[in-house]
Amino acid sequence: MNKILIIDFGGQYNQLIARRVREQHVYCEVRPHTMTLEEIRRFQPIGIIFTGGPHSVYLPDAPKPDPGVFTLGVPILGICYGCQLLTQELGGTVTPAREDSAREYGKTQTSFDPACPLFHGLPESSVTWMSHGDYVARIPEGFCLTARSAACPTAAMSDESRRFYGVQFHPEVNHTEYGLEILHNFLFGICRAAGDWTMADFKRRVIGELRGRIQDGRVLLALSGGVDSSVLAALLSEAVGHQLNCVFVDHGLLRKNEGDEVESAFSGRKLAFRRVNAQTRFLSRLKGVTEPEEKRHRVGEEFIRVFEDEAKAIGKVDYLAQGTIYPDVIESGLGQSAVIKSHHNVGGLPDHVEFREILEPLRLLFKDEVRQLGRELGLPESLVSRQPFPGVGLAIRVIGEVTEEKLSLLREADAIFRDEMARAGLDRMSSQYFAVLTNLRSVGVMGDGRSYDYAVALRSVQTSDFMTADWSRLPYELLDRVSVRIVNEVHGVNRVLYDVTSKPPATVEYE
């Protein structure tokens, strides 16, 4: 299988680079810059991409790859910081941009040399997305300039003999008009990728790997009823059949009636299904906790402890399986990348678990890839297309301390929002929508009297991969109906807000 290695230097668009590569049916992984030369060799990439990053390459503590990466004879594409890194490591000069010099942020008209293989088929000028305060003052020996802008004479450079390419702009973002074409040229024209990575191939390969790893062992699957764990249930069922035990933990942080719905959906299938009602122990662990990361860690640890108890009740269980996916891994921190939020099944795991191994066969897939795998496994579209729900549940949609009273308010408000979205036929239009109980209380007037109650925030976004998202332009009439119903039917709420923030700078969830 052709593989592209994306070496991470902490840039905000790193996961987007991976998405753009995989969209063209080329497999890739994002790995930290601390990866050793031997690890890179074992990965056997047909091409390497250096990501952007917030650092300055000329500073002593700037992150850098193993210098041996330049001797592998593998094509390299450096993006933004990655371009400056190529320059610095191969003998060129990078300096801070002066106020009146090459500092650029945002959409920038850029001219290209169409003779460069990276820009084959592109017009000689188009818009790119720049985001840099440093610039390449002198390119390394053997390189030539292949793109420029009004403020930056070194918008791109290339060394054809070594197949090294650097671009100062970001081809992975939509704002760069021909960004996909540039990446396509690198993948297929320069790296000679076959473009043959599909979910059908992934399914066959992973099922074989699971059978070889598990052999006659027994597996306990943490089944939430969401897309990821449901797809994993189907995958493991096909791989090891009766050796699989599915445990659904009702932690008391689910949406209205959700526990019963999950049990109904899976108890009739040919799976060993077990529901555990653990509301009391989870709420006890969250008592007094207000910090989001602490919530995630406590829920993550308690999940493991519940599964350990269930494994003892079931009998000898060798493996714990989780529906961890790639955004969980990336957002929980990768190399020097910032921890956006620790997912309970990644950053929230305790140091010690009483299982031989934790199985995460989906951990290198994005959400849309998981859905496609579900279709390959024959799951119904109603399940495959289900909206994601965080493993920590409503704990991160109740801002501040989680209490049963707050959970009850939120469940009712969320149910009203979901009901009205479905009535309007917009439930399939939105990638994800939900209500949040804020920690804000405000003065209101209800029944000629003063109220001092909670404000509920509504959130709806559009996205293909959940790494970036735009807020949904819902009709005012719908928002009006939802607002009227919530303040009238949910006692304890007197204000409804609608969130119009995209990701980034926000995340989809509030905590």
Give the residues across from 89 on adjacent strands.
none
User: Tell me: the pLDDT tens digits for 235-257?
Assistant: 999 999 989 999 999 999 999 99
Percent above pLDDT 90 for the chain: 63
Cis omega (within 30 of 0) for bond into 388: no
Going by DSSP bridges, is the β-strand pair 93-96/134-138 parallel, antiparallel, or unpaired? Answer: antiparallel
Nearest 5°: CA angle at 152, between 170 and 103? 75
Mean pLDDT of 160-184: 94
pLDDT value of position 401: 96
pLDDT value of position 151: 79
Highest average pLDDT, of 100-109, 171-180, 465-474, comes from 171-180
Mention the CATH class of domain 199-384: alpha beta
Evaluate if residue 400 carries a pLDDT over 50. yes
Active-site residue numbers? 80, 170, 172
Confidence bin at 352 (pLDDT 50/70/90)? low
pLDDT value of position 231: 92
401 by DSSP, 3-state: which? coil
pLDDT value of position 445: 84
DSSP state of 97: P
Mean pLDDT of 217-237: 89
d(CA 9, CA 336): 7
Evaluate if residue 357 carries a pLDDT over 60. yes
431 by DSSP, 3-state: which? coil
CA R_g for the chain? 25
The ranges of the chain annotated as CATH 3.40.50.620 are 199-384
Evaluate if residue 103 carries a pLDDT over 60. no
- Written as one letter, the residue type at 95 is T
Confidence bin at 336 (pLDDT 50/70/90)? very low
pLDDT value of position 349: 46
> CA nearest 54: which of 7, 95, 12, 5?
12
Fold category of 3-190 in CATH: Rossmann fold (3.40.50)
Q: What is the pTM of this model?
A: 0.66
The answer regarding whether domain 397-498 maps to CATH 3.30.300.10 reads: yes
Q: What is the dihedral of CA 295, 296, 299, 303, to 10 degrees?
A: -170
At residue 485, what are phi and psi to the nearest 5 degrees? -65, -45
Evaluate if residue 341 carries a pLDDT over 60. no
pLDDT value of position 16: 85
pLDDT value of position 355: 81
Mean pLDDT of 15-26: 90
User: Tell me: the pLDDT tens digits for 26-36?
Assistant: 999 989 999 99
d(CA 200, CA 79): 31
Is-contact 334 8, C-beta < 8 A?
Answer: yes
pLDDT value of position 308: 86
The ranges of the chain annotated as CATH 3.30.300.10 are 397-498
Confidence bin at 436 (pLDDT 50/70/90)? very high
Pure H helices in 318-468: 326-331, 367-376, 381-384, 404-423
pLDDT value of position 102: 52
Percent above pLDDT 70 for the chain: 92
Is-contact 461 432, C-beta < 8 A?
Answer: yes
pLDDT value of position 338: 46
Evaluate if residue 199 carries a pLDDT over 60. yes
Cα 454 to Cα 302, 451, 494, distances in angstroms: 29, 10, 6
Q: Which of 133-137, 304-308, 462-466, 490-494 has the lowest mean pLDDT?
A: 462-466
DSSP state of 116: S
